[in-house]
Amino acid sequence: MTTNAELRERQGKAVAGGVATRALFAERAENAELWDVEGRRFIDFAAGIAVVNTGHRHPKVMKAVADQAARFTHTCFHVAPYENYVALAERLNRIVPTGAENRTMLVTTGAEAVENAVKIARAHTRRSGIIAFSGGFHGRTLMGMALTGKVAPYKKNFGPFPAEVFHASFPNPFLGITVEDAIADLERLFAGDVDPERIAAFIVEPVQGEGGFNVAPAEFLVRLREIADKHGILFIADEVQAGMGRTGKMFAMEHAGVKPDLVTLAKGLAGGFPLSAVVGKAEIMNAAHPGGLGGTYAGNPLAVAAANAVLDVIEEEGLCARAAAIGERITARLNDLAARQGMERIGDVRGLGAMVAFELVEDRHTKAAAPALTNAIVAEAEKRGLILLSCGTRANVVRILVPLTISDATLDEGLDTLEATIESVFSSVAVAA
């Protein structure tokens, strides 16, 4: 039997050091469970970073991919197009809530979707500036990194970045940044750094992913839409992590009732297969000249088949409602835990639907970040058979992204393990102190 340690050693000799991973190597996975090469079982509270919203190897998704593979795996859509791509575009056009007739383009990764959204916005407006927000994450390409509002590990040592990308504050109630503060910072940007008439688009995550699961207040999104309309600026909603039913609605923007001009999708779109999309108002999406958009692997037939099946599963299994129920269950459990004596280092519990996180602090008065404690919880959870992820600009947030198809029994088992993990780590810290 190959061991994790042996594979870790081989990885060190074969894979670039900048590709950070865990020490466990997957052998197989099913729904919300994963087994490593040594046969250890894990409950997956990461879902491949919100990719397998429909669970690992959902039967309907796997069948759709197998059926497509029996026909063809690649032609390049630009060379020999295929109906599945068109059908998926039609479906996304119907459900993405811009309030207008839509068009869709398919690519491969979230960063690629973001890059193309920026290109399309610039082509439509004939403007070059883009405004992103502190704590946002939009990918690892040069433009993605420029837009991202978190230095380590994403931007460190990789500059210079593309010009005419500006950042404004994102509301953060836990740290005392109000909607008024954020809007004032945007107005300051317009007064001191860039004429709003030069801005092509705002790009914002309705729920920040890597930034710490900070939920954009509805008032903030409403105000942002108003400012965009006032100055002829497009509104790009980055739904790469928050979309596809994760927050209890198909798209997180729907909670605020705000209609974006362009939406970027990826992660949960194709149930584990690499696919992303830009969906937006037809007049905007059609601004780019023929040949200006696309890519060799864009809209891969296998991934497109998977995405069509994912949309079926979300509807047939009621996964938006399931996400809301899962989120209530997780949030209630975490809030109960945080209210107990001795749990004061859980500074905040937040999220939207099944996109839930808790922030760890040295104490609730200063709210000083506790990244070491966060790392300890993630590591101890892994030892106990639970896969967790950290995030946050201060590296002190634990996020929970369970597959939306998880059973109640597996969810409760995972939450029991999480609670025992936190109790153990907090106890160890108290003894050490």
Residues making up the chain, counted from first to last: 433
Using one digit for the tens of pLDDT, what is the confidence trace for 165-184?
999 999 999 999 999 999 99
Q: To 10 degrees, the CA torsion angle through 219, 314, 350, 99? A: -10
Domain limits for position 44: 4-57+318-432
235 pLDDT above the threshold of 70: yes
Q: pLDDT tens for residues 11-36? A: 999 999 999 999 999 999 999 999 99
For residue 426, give every residue at least 6 positions away whose Cβ sits within 8 Å of its Cβ, in sequence order, or none: 342, 343, 345
Structure tokens at 59: 């039967």
pLDDT reported for residue 429: 79
Q: What six digits make up the tokens of 180?
A: 């008024």
Whether residue 266 is found in the same domain as residue 135: yes
User: Of 261, 295, 316, at which residue does a domain stop?
Assistant: 316
Number of domains in the chain: 2
Q: Please give the share of the chain, as a percent, with pLDDT higher than 90.
A: 98
228 shares a domain with 105:
yes
- Nearest Cα neighbor of 324 from 244, 206, 245 is 245
CA dist 83 → 159, 241, 308, 324, 330 (Å) = 41, 27, 12, 33, 40
Section 26-50 average pLDDT:
98
Same domain flag for 255 and 403: no
Supply the DSSP string of 369-404, one letter for each residue. B-HHHHHHHHHHHHHTTEE-EEE-TTS-EEEE---T
Domain boundary among 247, 281, 316: 316
Check if the beta carbon of residue 135 is closer than 8 Å to that of residue 111: no
pLDDT for residue 314: 98
Helix (H, G, I), strand (E, B) or coil at 368: coil
How many angstroms separate the CA atoms of 253 and 272, rounded?
23
Following DSSP, what letter does each residue of 270-317 receive, concatenated? Answer: GTTS--EEEEEEHHHHTTSPTTSS--TTTT-HHHHHHHHHHHHHHHHT
What are the pLDDT digits (tens) for 330-355? Answer: 999 999 999 999 999 999 999 999 99
Average predicted confidence (pLDDT) for the chain: 97
Q: How far apart are CA 153 and CA 409, in angstroms?
A: 36
Q: CA-to-CA distance for 110 and 99, rounded, in angstroms?
A: 23
- Residue 198 and residue 102 share a domain: yes
What order do you get walking across the sheet with 346-352 strand by strand?
A: 346-352, 355-360, 397-400, 389-391
Residues 51 and 72 occupy one common structural domain: no
CA distances from 245 to 34, 214, 248, 325, 352 (A): 22, 17, 6, 12, 11
Give the C-alpha separation, 186 to 171, whole Å. 11
CATH number reported for the structural domain that contains residue 302 in this entry: 3.40.640.10
Contact 114, 139 (CB under 8 A): yes
The percentage of the chain sitting over the pLDDT mark of 70, rounded to a whole number, equals 99
pLDDT digits (tens, 9 = 90+) for 378-432: 999 999 999 999 999 999 999 999 999 999 999 999 999 999 999 999 998 766 6
User: How much is the pLDDT for 397?
Assistant: 98
Task: Clarify whether residues 30 and 113 are in a common domain.
Answer: no
Confidence of residue 93 (pLDDT cuts 50, 70, 90): very high
Q: Which residue is listed with tokens 């996304």?
A: 92
Same domain flag for 272 and 205 = yes
What are the φ and ψ backbone dihedral angles of 389, each rounded to 5 degrees? Answer: -125, 145
Nearest-angstrom CA–CA distance, 31 and 406: 7
Range 362-384 average pLDDT: 97
Asked if residue 128 and residue 29 are part of one domain, the reply reads no
Please give the helix or strand (H or E) that residue 338 lies within, else none.
Answer: helix 319-338
Domain final position from 284, 316, 348: 316
Same domain, 116 and 45: no
Name every residue whose Cβ is closer than 8 Å to that of residue 306 and which is 6 or more positions away in sequence: 61, 64, 65, 270, 271, 272, 273, 275
Per-residue pLDDT for 433 more than 60?
Answer: no
271 and 295 housed in the same domain: yes
Same domain, residue pair 249 and 356? no
pLDDT tens digits, one per residue of 110-119: 999 999 999 9
Does residue 165 share a domain with residue 213?
Answer: yes
**pTM as predicted:** 0.97
In this predicted structure, what is the pLDDT of residue 432?
62
Residue 430 confidence (pLDDT): 67
Three-state secondary-structure class, residue 22: coil
The CATH number for 327's domain is 3.90.1150.10
pLDDT, tens only, 185-210: 999 999 999 999 999 999 999 999 99
